[in-house]
A and B are shown apart, each in its own frame.
Chain A
């Protein structure tokens, strides 16, 4: 599956999205669980808005992700669910039990769709019927008669051997050898399958005759005929079954009469009514070629160039028995997906990081104390300490890397999505990313992805105008969407900018009043832009499956606030808008420059350091006898003595501050006067506010190699200070 996906993507968009699939599957699973839980809890008589909104958001999030990755079946189904849910939360229709049933069923189907995209076996029911019911319900019509939920999670009964599939069989490529094609299953045109049913060993073989009655009693179940003429062989009975029902459903039915362990279903070839060789698959089920035909990226390439795909697959399974190549592939893939990631609570990782930090300090102390021992006498001890040092360093690196991932992992999701989106909307969009290497806590990355997706979609859908419109306005035909990440002070700043039409103040105010929000004309711009964060607020005229339901910004705000961050909007009508997402640095690695002032050590973020030089006291001039300035490359900039800013006690008056470090932030520069430059190092930013409070001019703290705490300066605040 992976080969197919990678092939597809690399040849069509140049980005490998598959690295994000796992995250999406996990998130979607969580969302579906949450939705189901809410659906089950909801009180039909008096469903409150918050509950309905929550369900809606769950569906919406799944849809967003599915559309990004090209899981069209999932996106389509969630879109229909969304339409229904949207009407519900707008109180256009009243909730009813059938609706809950339908939505729960839809959830089940979504799960099985996701499981299949993930590479696991199990069949997926055709959602057409369900889609029709959802549509009917959202149009306020009574629901069509629904069959029983056709989909269940892949059967897990270990003793039941299932060899089955419902997926349509595509012509088998000649490269597939005979044994595997024999194992393939045929479906009759109406979707029904022929199965061999083996029951037994039974104490009373006559029990099995009840199964025949079962088929008489239940309409549409299919037909059954005895293969053994009513005679048992060592208590075993054989039947031939033609049915449309999935195996697990059949087994559920049969279990009324015989125990599950005694039932075996074996797929038969259509022409071949002779008992097919019993294939023991040890849980790895046979999949027909083209099983993943609707996986993202796969369809066109895979079908256009089956040989290429096959070569890829064959190399991947070299050494494995070809007869079950396809099945094994599916099975091993699913297993690999399951074990490739492990979700661990952030707390545990934090604890691990702290413990390792402690270990590093202990190790440093040991190294310090053992410096003077005689290596000749304590050879083993010295060797041991050296090992300890190396292991500690490796351990620290690995532990740190657990949490930190570059923003690129988020940004890389977007080009493909935007490309599809732009094509759909017939817009021309250029995508620019900045600061991809900015490292961000994994926890934050996971949570910021959805909001960013919403923002980028919104920019493309609502912000960027059509090429004709842009040309008419004298802009370039191509709209530009920029995603930029940077460390700023004690936070990470992620900006989504577009040069589209921007927000319209009048339109927002009008819409707000329609919705009964008090919005006077004198409202400040910032407040007006913030209106779009209200639940259900949308200025889009048409609701598309991309955006326009007004749920996006609501979710964005909620998610970011939950992370302790903030969102700001800046907009100029006709010129574009900028959404700035500011997230706290709970744990981020930063390149720092350590400087000494008196006896104390401070850290400057290296990204804000412009240059440093030695300065003679007489080069520092004053303005108005107070403000001190220094000339650097024909530019006068204010001088800040860190000694004064932080009231550093001074014991050694010979060593006066003689080093000037020019730093830059928020478009301003100041020269900081320090005693000494100590060096550059990567520092882990720690939050001071966790146990203390915000300290002026300090963005955080870090732990130095010797275990002591050093404060990290907030350059932005120092620059502001110099202005006052």
Chain B
């Protein structure tokens, strides 16, 4: 699969990663952390509604919902990133993303705003071990005191670990 090839290359040669070109990012909160994703991947933002559970799926896959007649899986990023709490209240929102022609909903604590970032404002992400594979972090955005973790949501969601997509052999 194209996406996983891409990540495989990244893993071997992290140093050749192209510097971030900047752009517009949708920022959201997961626990205490603030993340940013490419606005162009976002289809819409919805309030959370309990999905239909799918048996024997990993815990971060909450199930599927009906999005105007389309069956869409819901991934809870907080469970995926080992946040302390994952509450479902009236502020909990679902960011509906369109990645590689597929529609996926991701649960986050709250959506903050849309920020335009220049390439200069983006620092490379440090190589480190965390719940999120560092290859999926494209950079760290700095806005005053705020630190924005810029995520490669496309590759994260289509990675084999997520199990969202059947791996084609």
Contacts and interface: CB of A to CB of B under 8 A. Distances in A.
A691 B68 contact: no
Nearest to B72: A691
B68 A693 contact: no
Contact of A647 (B55, B66, B68, B103): B55
A692 B64 contact: yes
Contacts of A696: 55-56
A533 B166 CA distance: 28
Interface in A591-643: 600
B55 A691 contact: no
B71 A693 contact: no
Given A600-B53, A692-B71, A709 B102 contact: no
A703 to B, nearest CB: 5
The CB with the most chain B CB atoms within 10 A, among A361, A600, A709, is that of A709
Contact of A709 (B51, B56, B57, B104): B51
Interface in A682-721: 686-698, 701, 703, 707-711
Interface in A342-371: 353-355, 357-358, 361
A707 B66 contact: yes
A647 B72 contact: no
Contacts of B57: 695
Interface string B74-103: 000000000000000000000000000011
B71 A701 contact: yes
Interface string A643-657: 001111000000000
A645 B104 CA distance: 26
A290 B119 CA distance: 78
Contacts of B53: 600
Contacts of A600: 52-53
Contact of B166 (A358, A693, A701, A710): A693
A327 B65 CA distance: 58
Contacts of B51: 709
A682 to B, nearest CB: 15
Nearest to A646: B55
A354 B164 contact: no
Contacts of A686: 69-71
A692 B68 contact: no
A711 B54 contact: yes
* Interface range for A: 20 to 34
B56 to A, nearest CB: 6
Contacts of B66: 357, 361, 703, 707-709
Contact of B102 (A646, A690, A703, A710): A690
A274 B115 CA distance: 86
B115 to A, nearest CB: 28
Contact of A688 (B64, B65, B163): B64
Interface in A134-153: none
A694 B164 CA distance: 9
Interface in A390-413: none
B60 to A, nearest CB: 13
Contact of A354 (B63, B70, B165): B70
B52 A708 contact: yes
Given A645-B55, A691-B73, A691-B102, A354 B68 contact: yes
A701 B65 CA distance: 10
A690 B65 contact: no
Nearest to A352: B69
Contacts of A691: 70-73, 102-104
Given A701-B64, A709-B64, A709-B65, A690 B52 contact: no
Interface string B142-169: 0000000000000000000001111000
Given A686-B71, A701-B71, 20 more contacts: A354-B69, A357-B66, A357-B68, A357-B69, A358-B68, A686-B69, A690-B71, A691-B70, A691-B103, A692-B54, A695-B57, A696-B55, A701-B64, A703-B71, A707-B66, A708-B52, A708-B66, A709-B52, A709-B66, A711-B52
By Cβ-Cβ distance, the 4 closest A-B pairs, closest first, are A354-B69, A646-B55, A357-B69, A709-B52
29 contacts: A354-B68, A354-B70, A355-B68, A361-B66, A600-B52, A646-B55, A646-B56, A647-B55, A648-B55, A686-B69, A686-B70, A690-B102, A691-B102, A691-B103, A692-B71, A692-B164, A695-B56, A696-B55, A696-B56, A697-B55, A698-B54, A701-B71, A703-B66, A703-B69, A703-B71, A708-B65, A709-B63, A709-B64, A709-B71
